[in-house]
Structure 1
Amino acid sequence: MGRDHLSNEEFFTQLANLFEYTRTKGHGTVYLTQKRMTFNTSSTPPPASKVADDPLWDTHPAEPLPVLIRAYNNKSKKKEGTDREDIDKTQLSTIVKPDDLDGFYARYAEACKAGMSRLKKRDKKKAKKTKKRKKGEIKIGV
């Protein structure tokens, strides 16, 4: 994939906008993923002979590897009888260098907390009532 990655500052700005957009529309999901890059972006992948000699070569790299962080929402289509709008898919990604991980994750956690500020708490009472009712019911075989 030849996609350009945002700088860390641009990523946080766009992530805040994405959270705000889904919050103001009253619906939508923001997916957050992260993974370690298997090789440094400035170098090439390891040769096949290295992989053949040690199948777990990537578990002990010579130098720390960067982390790829992604955020996206899904495309949404307008449904009959609802006030939803068509939403285009938004994809954000950034690469975090190993030296910057601690500061990045602290800021990432704050951005995620701010994005989740309007979530509804789950209604546990309703779930308990239905569970008790099912336990208390006795079926009589006919």
Structure 2
Amino acid sequence: MPGDHMSNDEFFTQLTNLFEHNRKKGHGTVYLTQKRLTYDTGITPPSPTKVLDDPLWDTHPENPLPVLVHAANNKSSKREGKGKPGNERENVEKIKLSTVVQPDKLDAFYVRYAEACKAGMGGLKKRERKKKKKDKKKKKTEG
């Protein structure tokens, strides 16, 4: 499975494309997840006494572990006849991106990651609040 991940530069290029694709469609979700990568075969399993002494032994490894970063879009499907009229969506193929970030490159990666995420969220609209909530607050303060 390690061969399935793309380089960090390629990941950022594809992530930018994914954000642009969703912005052009006018809808869609991008899921971003990250977790530490622990498949390294060099790590030996702990002895039973180590686990008894420190049940959280894996939270402070001897060597820093790489981080696995995933990005995926929300796969849409046709919703004919369901929900509100005009709410049909076309089929969109699921796009999955992943990269492995080495511990010594984490700081530079997160700087670029934050910039890519901010740029991808630039076209978001502010949520419209319903008037009911405002009316209830006014009634409570008056009464």
Secondary structure in 1 aligned to 2:4? Answer: coil
2:121 is matched with which residue? 116
- Runs of 4+ aligned residues of structure 1 deviating over 6 Å after TM superposition are none
Unaligned runs of 5+ in 2: 81-85
1:17 aligns with 2:17: yes
Aligned residues, how many? 136
- Provide, for residues 43-86 of structure 1, a one-character-per-residue CA deviation record: whole Å limited to 9, x for no partner: 24532525634321112211111111110012111222445210
1:57 is matched with which residue? 57
For 1:70 and 1:134, the matched residues in 2 are separated by: 47
- Provide, for residues 104-123 of structure 1, a one-character-per-residue CA deviation record: whole Å limited to 9, x for no partner: 00000000011001100123
For 1:137 and 1:78, the matched residues in 2 are separated by: 48
Q: CA RMSD in A?
A: 2.7
Secondary structure in 2 aligned to 1:55? Answer: coil
Structure 1 residue 13: deviation in Å? Answer: 0.7
Unaligned runs of 5+ in 1: none
Secondary structure in 1 aligned to 2:31? Answer: strand
TM-score by length of 2: 0.80
TM-score by length of 1: 0.80
**Structure 1's 98 and 131: CA in aligned 2 closer, same or farther, altered over 3 A?**
farther
